[in-house]
Every structure is written in structure tokens, then in C-alpha cells.
């Protein structure tokens, strides 16, 4: 049996003003501990999307206890709102107001590449591991990411996709917290007072899931050219932003779209009332009517790479297109509109 020096979790008390579930480990004890592989444990969920009842039952069987040595089910709140939210809401505020008991909070504005001028770019593997350690999440844990009840589905798919990019073995999305509340499953409110810090191993990034600016630019330049691969760019922004008639939520940013892109607004894959993902067959209809070819490669894009992951999740749920041929444009429109040159004619508008 091999051995590895690991960090024993230490309970850290938080003052009232501290950020919940984001404390750093201030002290550690090192010891020799056997390396176990628990990743063969059966999944408690049958699919990527998890119904509220499924999650409630799973939490009873494998609660997020700090003393458990077995894989735990960890609810992870990923609530986030656009910077121009009319009510001025923030993710941390709605987390404090109402959340799944023992949930952790993933701050989409902080777990990013802070050196990048563009928002929400993927963090480095080291920074990702540090964030997971501070959240007390272990690599063997089963993480269920969820959104605010106000929006239903919005930013949780981005956080779930981030975990998948960094190779977390078991990631799911709750479909959704609005239904969780309506079906009267348990909730709690207020600050979290303690954090169990751990040591999450530094992962490798699966770059095959990520589209770069250079890659997307080549696709746009090749649009309608003979012999081009025919990569499809799906844009999750609203029709008004895609056509260029409505402004972007970030001041000074041009609206419009990339040449050849297909507008698939992210809310078109959600139920208009519950804001949960539509059933798989309905999702297939949405993509088919939008003219998306499942045989061709797909790159999903949006404003900052958040709701592009709603589209990617819908494609996954509908089994539409090969997962090996699907990517998310990390920088999305915010990067695109700032990097392309006027002479390139790569920002189009529709009258």
C-alpha cells in the first residue's frame, strides 16, 4: 500500500462578516494516510440533471458530514446575477436568504483567472484546487450544483462545466432549486459559521472542452468558404443582443453576432414557468428548429461564458451532437467584441 502526506481537515470559525464557506485553512496537521480509491462507488443519480426528490433522498443517505470518510453528496450554490440586474441582487445575498441545508457557495466572480481582462475566464488548475479546498470539497464527493430560485437555471451549468473541465469525477445539476422550494424540501438561511477545509489535488484542465478566441475567429473567418469544416457557433444571448438592436449589459460593448452564428437563447431550452430544463425530446425539437446539425462540431457562446453552458447542458441532456465535438467559448462575446478589429468585419448586425 502506498502512503501520501495529506491535510487533515480543520474546523475554522468564521466571524459574522466573513464570506460563508470561503475561509482559508489557518492550521494543518500532517500525517501518513493510505491512498484509497473510492471513485468506483455507484452513482446515486441516474443522469446529469437531478430532480429535487432525488437530491433530497441522496442527502439523507450520504450527507455532507465532515467526519465521513465516504463520498458525500455536496449541494453547491452557484447563484449569480448580471451586473445590470434591475433589482441589484447578488448571488451571496440570495444564498444567505435561502439555501439547501449544508450547501456551499461557489463565487462565480472570484473563482476565475484574475489576470484576464475578461470576466469569468477559467481559473488556473492550482487556483481551482485552492477554491475547492476552501469549500471543503473532496475529489471523491458527488457535487450537485444549483441556481437561485429567482432564476431557476442560469449560472449553475457554468460552475458544473468548470468542475467537469477540471476533471471532477461526479458532477450534477439540480433541476432546479425553484422546484425544490415549491415542493417544500428543507431550506435554511443566514451565515455559515464554520468551514471544513481540506486538500483538493491540483487537476489537469481538459482543454478539449474549451474553445479559444483564436479557434472561434478561424471558424468565423471560414464561414461560407468552400471546404470549411462547418463548425456551428450557438449564441445563447437574447435575440435583441444577437441582432445588435439591444445593448449589452456591460457599458461600451458592441452588440451583434459572429458571422454564421445561430441564435439559441438560453431561455428557449427552459420551461417558461418553472425555469427548469425541458425534457430531452423537447430540447431536441428546439435545436432542430434552430437549424443545428448534430453531425457537425458545436461551439456554445454567450456574453461571458455563463449561459453558453446552459446550451451545452441542454445538448448533453438531449444527446444532441457528439460530446467530443462540443466546446464552450470561454471568453464569449465580451472577449470577442473587445478583440476583433473593425476591419475584420466579424461583428454583424441584423435589421
Catalytic residue among 77, 197, 302, 309: 302
Helix (H) or strand (E) holding 73: strand 73-77
pLDDT for res 201: 97
**pLDDT tens digits for 149-194?**
999 999 999 999 999 999 999 999 999 999 999 999 999 999 875 7
Q: What is the DSSP letter of 277?
A: B
Q: Do domains 16-30+41-205 and 208-344 have the same CATH topology?
A: yes
Domain boundaries of the chain, sorted by first residue: 16-30+41-205, 208-344
Q: Apex CA 239: angle with CA 220 and CA 282, to 5°?
A: 95
Q: What is the DSSP letter of 248?
A: -
> What is the mean pLDDT of the segment spanning 267-286?
98
- Percent of all residues in the chain with a pLDDT value above 70, rounded to a whole number: 87
**pLDDT tens digits for 332-350?**
999 999 999 888 899 999 8
Give the C-alpha separation, 242 to 124, whole Å.
30
Grid cell in block for residue 250: 456591460
pLDDT for res 317: 97
pLDDT for res 106: 97
**pLDDT tens digits for 290-334?**
999 999 999 999 999 999 999 999 999 999 999 999 999 999 999
Q: Apex CA 44: angle with CA 43 and CA 50, to 5°?
A: 110
**CB-based contacts of 130: which residues, under 8 Å, 6+ apart?**
200
Give the C-alpha separation, 116 to 137, whole Å.
26
Q: What average pLDDT is seen over the chain?
A: 87
> What is the mean pLDDT of the segment spanning 29-57?
65
Q: 16-30+41-205 is classed in which CATH architecture?
A: 3-Layer(aba) Sandwich (3.40)
Confidence band (pLDDT; 50, 70, 90) for 23?
Answer: very low
pLDDT for res 350: 83
208-344 belongs to CATH 3.40.250.10: yes
Annotated active-site residue 197? The verdict is no
pLDDT for res 228: 73
Of 267, 257, 261, nearest to 314 by C-alpha is 267
Amino acid at each position: 500500500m502506498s502512503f501520501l502526506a495529506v491535510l487533515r481537515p480543520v474546523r475554522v470559525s468564521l466571524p459574522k462578516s466573513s464570506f460563508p464557506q470561503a475561509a482559508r485553512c489557518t492550521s494543518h496537521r500532517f500525517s501518513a494516510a493510505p491512498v484509497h480509491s473510492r471513485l468506483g462507488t455507484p452513482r446515486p443519480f441516474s443522469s446529469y440533471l437531478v430532480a429535487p426528490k432525488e437530491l433530497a433522498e441522496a442527502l439523507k443517505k450520504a450527507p455532507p458530514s465532515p467526519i465521513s470518510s465516504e463520498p458525500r453528496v455536496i449541494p453547491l450554490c452557484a447563484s449569480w446575477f448580471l451586473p445590470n440586474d434591475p433589482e441589484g441582487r447578488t448571488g451571496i445575498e440570495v444564498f444567505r436568504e435561502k439555501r439547501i441545508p449544508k450547501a456551499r457557495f461557489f463565487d462565480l466572480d472570484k473563482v476565475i483567472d484574475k489576470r484576464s481582462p475578461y470576466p469569468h475566464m477559467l481559473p488556473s488548475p492550482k487556483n481551482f484546487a485552492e477554491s475547492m479546498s476552501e469549500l471543503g470539497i473532496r475529489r471523491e464527493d458527488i457535487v450537485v450544483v444549483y441556481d437561485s430560485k429567482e432564476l431557476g437555471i442560469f449560472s449553475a451549468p457554468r460552475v458544473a462545466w468548470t468542475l467537469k473541465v477540471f476533471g471532477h469525477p461526479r458532477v450534477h445539476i439540480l433541476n432546479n432549486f425553484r422546484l425544490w422550494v415549491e415542493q417544500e424540501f428543507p431550506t435554511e438561511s443566514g451565515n455559515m459559521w464554520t468551514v471544513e477545509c481540506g486538500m483538493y489535488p491540483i487537476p489537469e484542465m481538459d482543454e478539449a472542452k474549451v474553445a479559444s478566441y483564436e479557434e472561434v475567429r478561424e471558424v468565423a473567418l471560414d464561414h461560407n468558404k468552400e471546404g470549411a469544416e462547418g463548425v456551428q457557433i450557438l449564441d445563447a444571448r437574447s435575440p435583441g443582443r444577437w441582432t445588435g438592436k439591444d445593448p449589452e449589459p456591460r457599458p461600451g460593448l458592441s452588440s451583434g453576432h459572429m458571422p454564421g452564428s445561430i441564435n439559441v437563447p438560453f431561455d428557449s431550452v427552459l420551461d417558461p414557468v418553472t425555469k427548469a430544463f425541458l425534457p430531452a425530446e423537447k430540447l431536441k425539437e428546439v435545436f432542430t428548429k434552430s437549424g443545428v446539425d448534430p453531425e457537425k462540431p458545436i461551439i456554445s457562446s454567450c456574453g461571458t461564458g455563463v449561459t453558453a453552458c446552459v446550451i451545452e447542458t441542454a445538448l448533453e441532456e438531449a444527446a444532441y451532437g457528439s460530446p467530443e465535438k462540443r466546446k464552450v467559448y470561454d471568453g464569449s462575446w465580451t472577449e470577442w467584441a473587445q478583440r476583433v478589429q473593425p476591419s475584420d468585419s466579424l461583428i454583424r448586425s441584423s435589421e
